């Protein structure tokens, strides 16, 4: 069967700064998904988009075509409103773990499709898989059943959800076409819209440990995603949050689960609690429950009850011992003073090299590996005081580099 368009014409049109026609946009996504457009041709089009950008209506149509490449979940049969959250990723960003059960404790269904970590950023599924028995794969039938019975699901996206994005994302990763706000926004929003939630809260990170390094670029991404969500009938709001310093005191899979459980038990680090509550309030308001205080469910144990039920529903044992690193190494302050900076990116790289992260999507991770911060910016420290604890599964991975070659401690004290 002959194709209705020539992909080279579409590439040239975008290369020269023209808007791609709606019919061409629909065809390009469909043809690439079914293999009628070669990777090198799609890579050329992606690079043209990196350089030329996309108009709002053009991007909305591109995103709609990506959604239409697969199934769209129907959550209208649930007996409660729905709300979802997406974070653009960071270091120590464990917020989904306490947030999903917290919002569900107030009668809002939370269908959270999450991903795995890559490079310096952690992945929600990797964190949860450190819990013995917990499984990320959930069928559509079990997904809906768990939303009805528990109120929250955190799991991997099924193969039928926005398959065009999965194929295009892998291509962008190896062709230098990741850094494009239209392509980033359509990648995120095609999956989130296909997920079927009626409301979405975006946590757009900005800072050294985030993909967006400046407030200006983060705001542009947030506004673009909010526009896409609204255009597709999803109530969408965005918060810009700081990712210059890691969230909480831990970066690493099992380490972050422990810290999340502390939050659900009514304790935990102030910054993690503060952001969890801020996002919960936005999700509840978007779901029509803006008159409740989510902090109550942390204090009275309701959020913890939902957490335990959510973990058990996916085969996990919430009371099981979590993996612990076999080797630990403490880094100390070389001088007395005030801790001025803990660089999120450097901590993320350290956790990754210790084994908590991966360089490629199919690499294994060490669930017990990671970094524990023993001090945060603004703290008074004395020479010799422990600042960072490195956790690894082998002695070689935990061996400390020199102070000058360790980015996590550069400019540590002043």
C-alpha span between 376 and 353 (Å, rounded): 21
34's CB contacts (< 8 A; 6+ apart) are none
Start-end of CATH 3.90.1170.30 domains in the chain: 327-405
Angle at 295 between CA 244 and CA 278, to 5 degrees: 35
Residue 117 confidence (pLDDT) = 81
Question: Residue 57's pLDDT band (boundaries 50, 70, 90)?
Answer: very high
Q: In this structure, are residues 271 and 372 in contact, taking their beta carbons and an 8 Å threshold?
A: no
Q: Tell me, rounded to whole angstroms, the distance of Cα 138 from its chain centroid.
A: 19
| CATH no., domain 7-53 | 1.20.970.10
Q: Can you state the percent helix, strand and coil of the chain, rounding each to 5? A: 45, 15, 40
Instruction: Give the pLDDT confidence score for residue 120 in this predicted structure.
Output: 83
Burial group, residue 223, by CB count within 10 angstroms (0-12, 13-18, 19+)? middle
Render pLDDT for 328-356 as a digit per residue (tens, 0 to 9).
999 999 999 999 999 999 999 999 999 99
Backbone angles phi, psi at 411, to 5 degrees: 60, 35
Over its C-alpha atoms, the chain yields an Rg (Å, rounded) of 22
Please enumerate in sequence order all residues whose Cβ is within 8 A of that of 293, keeping only pairs 6 or more positions apart, or say none. none
Residue-wise pLDDT tens digits, 237-290: 999 999 999 999 999 999 999 999 999 999 999 999 999 999 999 999 999 999
pLDDT digits (tens, 9 = 90+) for 7-36: 999 999 999 999 999 999 999 999 999 999
pLDDT at 119: 73
pLDDT tens, position by position, 28-55: 999 999 999 999 999 999 999 999 999 9
CATH of span 327-405: 3.90.1170.30
pLDDT of 112 over the 90 cut? yes
Catalytic machinery residues: 86, 165, 172, 187, 191
pLDDT at 406 over 80: no
Residue 118, pLDDT > 90, answer no
Fold of 84-313: Pyrimidine Nucleoside Phosphorylase; Chain A, domain 2 (3.40.1030)
SS (H, E, C) 358-387: CCCCCCCCCCCCEEEECCCCCCEECCCCEE
The residues facing 85 across adjacent strands are 201
Instruction: Answer whether residue 96 shows pLDDT above 90.
Output: yes
How far CA 259 is from CA of 1, 47, 93, 121, in Å, comes to 56, 41, 11, 17
Q: What is the pTM of this model?
A: 0.92
List, by residue range, all CATH 1.20.970.10 domains of the chain. Answer: 7-53
Nearest residue to 149 (alpha-carbon basis) of 63, 235, 79: 79
């Amino acid at each position: 069967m002959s194709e209705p368009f020539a992909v080279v014409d579409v590439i040239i049109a975008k290369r020269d700064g023209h808007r791609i026609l709606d019919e061409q946009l629909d065809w390009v996504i469909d043809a690439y998904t079914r293999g009628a457009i070669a990777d090198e041709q799609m890579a050329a089009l992606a690079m043209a988009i990196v350089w030329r950008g996309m108009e709002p209506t053009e991007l909305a149509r591109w995103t709609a075509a990506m959604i239409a490449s697969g199934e769209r979940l129907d959550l209208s049969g649930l007996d409660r409103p729905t709300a979802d959250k997406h974070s653009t990723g960071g270091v120590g960003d464990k917020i989904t773990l306490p947030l999903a059960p917290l919002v569900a404790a107030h009668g809002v269904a939370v269908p959270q499709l999450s991903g795995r970590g890559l490079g310096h950023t952690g992945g929600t599924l990797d964190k949860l898989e450190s819990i013995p028995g917990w499984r990320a794969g959930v069928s559509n039938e079990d997904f809906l059943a768990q939303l009805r019975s528990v109120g929250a699901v955190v799991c991997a996206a099924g193969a039928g959800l926005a398959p065009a994005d999965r194929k295009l994302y892998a291509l962008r990763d190896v062709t230098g076409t990741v850094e494009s706000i239209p392509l980033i926004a359509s990648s995120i929003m095609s999956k989130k819209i296909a997920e079927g939630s009626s409301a979405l809260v975006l946590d757009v990170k900005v800072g050294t440990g985030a993909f967006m390094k400046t407030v200006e670029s983060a705001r542009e991404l947030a506004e673009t995603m909010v526009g896409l969500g609204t255009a597709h009938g999803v109530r969408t709001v965005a918060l810009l949050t700081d990712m210059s310093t890691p969230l909480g005191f831990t970066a690493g899979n099992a380490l972050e689960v422990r810290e999340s459980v502390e939050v659900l038990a009514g304790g935990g680090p102030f910054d993690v609690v503060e952001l969890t509550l801020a996002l919960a309030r936005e999700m509840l308001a978007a779901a029509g429950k803006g008159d409740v205080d989510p902090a109550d469910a942390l204090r009275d144990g309701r959020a913890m009850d939902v957490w335990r039920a959510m973990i058990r529903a996916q085969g996990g044992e919430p009371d099981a011992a979590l993996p612990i690193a076999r080797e630990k190494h403490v880094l100390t302050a070389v001088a007395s003073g005030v801790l001025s900076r803990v660089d999120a990116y450097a901590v993320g790289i350290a956790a990754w090299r210790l084994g908590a992260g991966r360089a490629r999507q199919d690499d294994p991770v060490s669930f017990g590996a990671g970094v524990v911060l023993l001090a945060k910016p603004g703290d008074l420290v004395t020479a010799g005081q422990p600042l960072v604890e490195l956790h690894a599964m082998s002695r070689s991975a935990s061996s400390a580099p020199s102070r000058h070659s360790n980015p996590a401690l550069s400019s540590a004290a002043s």
